[in-house]
Chains A and B, each alone.
Chain A
């Protein structure tokens, strides 16, 4: 798997969103705004949907699992890069977390229709490039690239 690094070259537009822990009522707002912005830039519908899935799953993960975090979107001439960072608690076993069906989600998350253990595998599936790094008690960083 690739390592996480932020590529600051050729960024035409940057979007930044803070996502708050346990804020289920607003979960999805950032992804909705990202999708609307990209739609205005006339990005192909199929790509738009893949980016929307990637950001939405990430946003839900931040709400469910993290102590809070950020989603940054770099719009570039040849791709869209999505950077997701949180401030903990970190993933104990990334390989297991990437396995379809594995979940540590709470009952509240499950009531909302999540916690099926599909989030991370799904994010990887819709990305052309995917990198995840996590350290216990520090946090998790994910980079997803969707190419035009």
Chain B
């Protein structure tokens, strides 16, 4: 699924690296636990989370993730946005909850990772 479509489906605002929106991702993983993200995410996956600190960007960097979708209206601080731009990681934010966002994307054909 194109990140552009994801943005429209969940009505998200793009916060960083908008140039990358044409890229495609295959799966999604929702978690506020970065340890679990590091343990389970292997493919080219969209990270959906309510956590907005620098470690989220670092986690995405380590795993080569292209995009992060923040839920519950969370907006990271400026230094976090700067780090994401530097690492070319797309950041989006939606007002919906993690559960609702997951349902919306799943219904539209985006699948979870296999664990």
Contact = CB atoms under 8 A, between A and B. Distances in A.
Interface of A: 24-25, 27-28, 31-32, 35, 45, 49, 52-53, 56-57, 60, 111-119, 121-122, 125
A27 B35 contact: no
B97 interface: no
Contacts, number: 71
Interface stretch (B1-9, B11-19, B57-65, B101-109): B57-65
Contact of A113 (B39, B51, B61, B63): B51
A99 B56 CA distance: 24
Given A45-B64, A49-B63, A52-B63, A116 B33 contact: yes
A115 B35 CA distance: 7
Interface residues of B, number: 21
B58 A27 contact: yes
B38 interface: yes
Question: Closest 3 interchain pairs by CB?
Answer: A28-B58, A113-B34, A116-B35
B98 to A, nearest CB: 14
Contacts of B53: 24, 111-113
